[in-house]
Structure 1
């Protein structure tokens, strides 16, 4: 019987170990990590307006989602433009004026954001359509989204909308909760 040298025994042991090793999953884990990151970043940007807990929006079967514009919230206690308090709701209800100066001034201050948002939407629509060549379309009017609790009286909403249109916002959208169409 032959005696094996120590070197041969070592080589045989290391050769057996290499055969029993599993797959290397590092690259597969990298791909899954990138995929999860991609899905998380893209799904969070598709959400529309998220109403605060203080406001209960009315239901609607509208199919179009609101665009990114200036947001005006009407709660039971105050009126907010872009999450900044402008005036107390009770003061607006008790006021005899149809156009509320504080709301008008706050909306005029946000006009730059509204114009940028409508231009961005317009450029996206032009890229999608790509049918108009050489034609200059008139500038889109600024738009405002109003988030109001379903219990807010109409006379208050009328004053808020009048203040917005007096500030130059001709497109006024009321935010609603989208529910399935019945039919």
Structure 2
């Protein structure tokens, strides 16, 4: 039996449509190349300090962004410098029990980090090396004061406290 012209045309069209479509990788690669360059240029605008999920930072309206520097983290049961556990203890104990071991451990680690870093230029000598203290809002002030005194005894006198930025719009509204 002979097929009509219409049947032949429909058969060819069905065969053509049954083929799988091809993905144009050139256009896709162009998009990803532009995306990579965009992300590389814009990634340096945001600085996020590492923190624990159970840590709640104090709130402030500070406009100053954090810089890349030595990070001293105060947790509920110890102190970490650059993510390395330096001292473990309980802040609820009497101060005489934790002050001396804390001072020795933190001072030793800060001196080690200062020894590995480049020497300070003469104009930066009075200010010292930068250090950021990341502590929970419930951390006793005596602990923070002691850590700042320990860091000032080493070359780390430019101390910053990490805070969570609070919106100034919320501050203005009653």
Fold conserved (TM > 0.5)?
Answer: yes
- CA 94–167 in structure 1, closer or farther in 2 if over 3 Å, else same: farther
The 3-state SS of whatever aligns with 2:123 is coil
Deviations 1:73-132 (A, max 9, x none): 00001100111111124279634347811111111111156658xx8xxxxxxxxxxxxx
Please tell me whether the aligned partners of residues 75 and 148 of structure 1 are also in contact (alpha carbons under 8 angstroms).
yes
The range that moved more, 42-51 or 75-84, is: 42-51
Please tell me whether the aligned partners of residues 57 and 176 of structure 1 are also in contact (alpha carbons under 8 angstroms).
yes
Q: Distance in 2 between matches of 1:68 and 1:113?
A: 16
Shift, 1:36, TM fit = 1.9
Where do 1:95-174 residues align within 5 Å?
95-96=95-96, 97=99, 100-112=103-115, 138-139=123-124, 141-174=128-161
Please tell me whether the aligned partners of residues 47 and 66 of structure 2 are also in contact (alpha carbons under 8 angstroms).
no
Please tell me whether the aligned partners of residues 58 and 150 of structure 1 are also in contact (alpha carbons under 8 angstroms).
yes
Does 2:51 correspond to 1:64? no
User: Gaps (5+ residues) in structure 2?
Assistant: 1-22
- CA 92–139 in structure 1, closer or farther in 2 if over 3 Å, else same: farther
Specify the alignment match of 2:27 in structure 1: 28
Count of matched residue positions in the alignment of Structure 1 and Structure 2: 145
- CA 165–114 in structure 1, closer or farther in 2 if over 3 Å, else same: farther
User: Gaps (5+ residues) in structure 1?
Assistant: 1-23, 120-135
Q: Distance in 1 between matches of 2:93 and 2:65?
A: 30
